Copies of this chain bind each other. A is one copy, B any other.
Amino acid sequence: MKLLEERIREDGLVLPGNVLKVNSFLNHQIDPELMNTIGQEFAHLFRDNNITRILTVESSGIAPAIMTGLALHVPVLFARKTKSSTMNTSLFTADVYSYTKKVTNKISVDQKFLVQTDNVLIIDDFLANGQAVSGLLEICKQADAYVEGVGIVIEKAFQTGGKLLRDQGVRLESLARISSFEDGKVNFVGD
C-alpha cells in the first residue's frame, strides 16, 4: 500500500536495534483517516471470505481492526492483556512473549464472543516474530473457529513472523513489508 509506505518513510523514526517508531500515526497518536483507508484495504482483500468477526489484541491493534470491522460490517473482538474486573466468565487464553519488552503476557477472550461457526480475520499493527498473532491463532483454535487470514499493517519482513505463519498455511496480508533499515532509512520489499 503506497500511501502507507510513504507515510512510514515520512513520519517513521528508525531507532537503534531495528525499532521503527510510528507513534505519530499508528500506535500512540492515530491518524483516523489513514486507519479508515487501511480498514477498507483489508476489507477489500478479504471481501470474498465471509468474515464474521475481526480479532485483534489491545491496544494498538484496535484502530486498524475497528475500521476493518466498519468496512466489513462485522463485530471486532480485542483480546485483553490484563483480566478485566468484569471478566468472570470462561475465557480462551494464550501466552504471548514480547521480545521488545521481555515479558510474557497472558491474553484472553471471553468464550461467549468466539464460536465454532466464526470465519475470523485477525488484524494487528505489527508483525515481527509473530508471537501476538500466534497467540490469537491459538485462541481461535481453542474456540474451534476458522481463521480466514491475518491482516498486518506493518510487517518486518526480515524477522521470522511472516515465515512462521506462511509455513502453517495461514494467509497473510501485510500492507507494508519492510525489508531492512539502512542508515535510519526504511527499505520496503520490492523497492
Contacts and interface: CB of A to CB of B under 8 A. Distances in A.
Interface string A44-84: 00000000000000110011001101100111111010001
User: In terms of DSSP, what is the predominant structure of the interface of chain A?
Assistant: mixed
Interface in A6-25: 15, 19, 21, 23-25
Contacts of A183: none
Given A59-B59, A62-B59, A66-B66, A75 B30 contact: yes
Copies held by the complex: 2
A62 B112 CA distance: 22
Contact of A28 (B27, B28, B73, B113): B113
A182 interface: no
Interface band, chain A: 35 or more
A144 interface: no
Given A59-B58, A62-B62, A62-B63, A32 B84 contact: no
A144 B36 CA distance: 30
A86 B13 CA distance: 10
A90 interface: no
A70 B36 contact: yes
Contacts of A58: 58-59
A33 B73 contact: yes
Interface in A22-44: 23-25, 27-33, 35-36
A117 interface: no
B85 A101 contact: yes
Interface of A: 15, 19, 21, 23-25, 27-33, 35-36, 58-59, 62-63, 66-67, 69-70, 73-78, 80, 84-88, 100-101, 109-110, 112-113
